[in-house]
A and B are shown apart, each in its own frame.
Chain A
Amino acid sequence: MKRRSFIKKVLNGTIAGSLYLVWPMGGEGIQIPEQIPGIMGKEYDILNQEFAFIVDVTRCIGCGSCCVADKREYNVPDGNYRTWVERYVKGFSDKIYVDSPNGGLDGYQHPRKDIDEKIRDTFFVPKLCNMCKEAPCVQVCPVGATFKSPDGFILVDEKRCVGCAYCLQACPYSARFLHPDKKVAQKCTWCYQRVRKGLLPACVQVCPTKARKFGSMKDETSEVYKILKGPGVLTVLKKEMGTFPALYYKGARREVI
Chain B
Amino acid sequence: MDLSYRKRLFILLLSICLLAGGGLLFKKLLVPKSFGVYGPYRADAIAEAALVPVRHGTNNSCFKCHPYEAKIHKKGLHQTISCESCHGTYADHVAEGKKIGTLPVKKEKEITTLCLKCHNTEIKARSEEVIKTVAMPNHLKDQKVKLTHNCNQCHHVHAPLKYIIRAKQITGLMEAGS
The number of residues on chain A lying at the interface, defined by a beta carbon within 8 Å of a beta carbon of chain B, is: 61
Known: A25-B54, A28-B96. A206 touches B116 (CB 8 A): no
A210 at the interface (CB under 8 A from B): yes
Say yes or no: A147 contacts B89, CB within 8 Å.
no
Alpha-carbon separation in the docked complex, A222 to B1 (Å) = 80
**Contact flags (1/0) for A101-126 with B, using CB distance below 8 Å?**
00000111111000000010011100
Say yes or no: B82 contacts A208, CB within 8 Å.
yes
Say yes or no: A209 contacts B131, CB within 8 Å.
yes
A220 at the interface (CB under 8 A from B): no
Distance between A152 CB and nearest chain B CB, rounded to angstroms: 12
Distance between A26 CB and nearest chain B CB, rounded to angstroms: 6
Say yes or no: A189 contacts B95, CB within 8 Å.
no
Extra inter-chain contacts (17) besides given A68-B85, A72-B89, CB under 8 Å? A30-B54, A32-B57, A58-B130, A65-B85, A69-B82, A69-B84, A72-B84, A73-B55, A106-B117, A107-B118, A110-B122, A123-B125, A144-B40, A153-B49, A159-B42, A193-B50, A210-B80
How many residue pairs between the two chains, A and B, have CB atoms under 8 Å in the bound complex?
Answer: 155
Can you spell out 6 A-B residue pairs with CB atoms less than 8 angstroms apart? A30-B91, A72-B89, A73-B55, A146-B41, A147-B41, A160-B32
Specify which chain A residues have a CB less than 8 angstroms from the CB of B71 in the assembled complex.
Answer: none
- Closest B-chain residue to A146, C-beta based? B41
Say yes or no: A208 contacts B81, CB within 8 Å.
yes
Specify which chain A residues have a CB less than 8 angstroms from the CB of B90 in the assembled complex.
Answer: 30
B15 at the interface (CB under 8 A from A): no
Known: A58-B127, A69-B82, A202-B56. A29 touches B94 (CB 8 A): yes
Known: A68-B85, A206-B82. A193 touches B46 (CB 8 A): no
Contact of B117 among A64, A209, A210 (CB under 8 A): A64
User: 6 shortest A-B CB distances, which residue pairs?
Assistant: A147-B41, A157-B45, A107-B117, A206-B82, A29-B96, A193-B52
Specify which chain B residues have a CB less than 8 angstroms from the CB of A74 in the assembled complex.
Answer: 52
Specify which chain B residues have a CB less than 8 angstroms from the CB of A123 in the assembled complex.
Answer: 125
Say yes or no: B61 contacts A32, CB within 8 Å.
yes
Specify which chain A residues have a CB less than 8 angstroms from the CB of B49 in the assembled complex.
Answer: 149, 153, 155, 189, 192-193
Distance between B40 CB and nearest chain A CB, rounded to angstroms: 5
Say yes or no: A144 contacts B41, CB within 8 Å.
yes
Alpha-carbon separation in the docked complex, A29 to B80 (Å) = 24
